């Protein structure tokens, strides 16, 4: 059952969600990380989206910095479409995704 949640304002905490992991077993939820580590949440429509492709290319340019953050904080990468995240993982390798 889907429950409607009011839109968040700037500065509000993100609502909790859980998604199956793309590159490991199990489910990952935002609550697993809240208050203990930064989370990068990227929402991708898919590789057919020109904006999404450009954004993934920009993330590739900052991959080393992202990997440093992941190594230091265990940041979780999440996306709306597994195909977009899998493409990022092919370039970024070690970044976990849901």
**Confidence grade of residue 51 (pLDDT, cut at 50, 70, 90):** confident
pTM beyond 0.75, yes or no: no
Q: What residues does each domain of the chain span?
A: 19-92
Cβ pair 71, 38 in contact under 8 A: no
What percent of the chain has pLDDT above 70? 57
pLDDT at 27: 84
Say if residue 91's pLDDT is above 60.
no
Residue 97 CA to residue 41 CA, distance in Å, equals 10
- Cα distance between residue 70 and residue 65, in whole Å: 9
């Amino acid at each position: 059952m889907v429950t409607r949640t009011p839109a968040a304002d700037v500065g509000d905490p993100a609502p909790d969600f859980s998604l199956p992991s793309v590159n490991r077993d199990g489910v990952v939820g935002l609550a697993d990380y809240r208050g203990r580590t930064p989370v990068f949440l990227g929402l991708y429509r898919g590789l057919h989206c020109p904006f999404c492709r450009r954004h993934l290319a920009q993330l590739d340019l900052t991959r080393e910095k992202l990997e440093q953050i992941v190594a230091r904080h265990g940041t979780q990468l999440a996306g709306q479409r597994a195909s977009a995240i899998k493409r990022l993982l092919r370039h970024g390798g070690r970044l976990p995704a849901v």
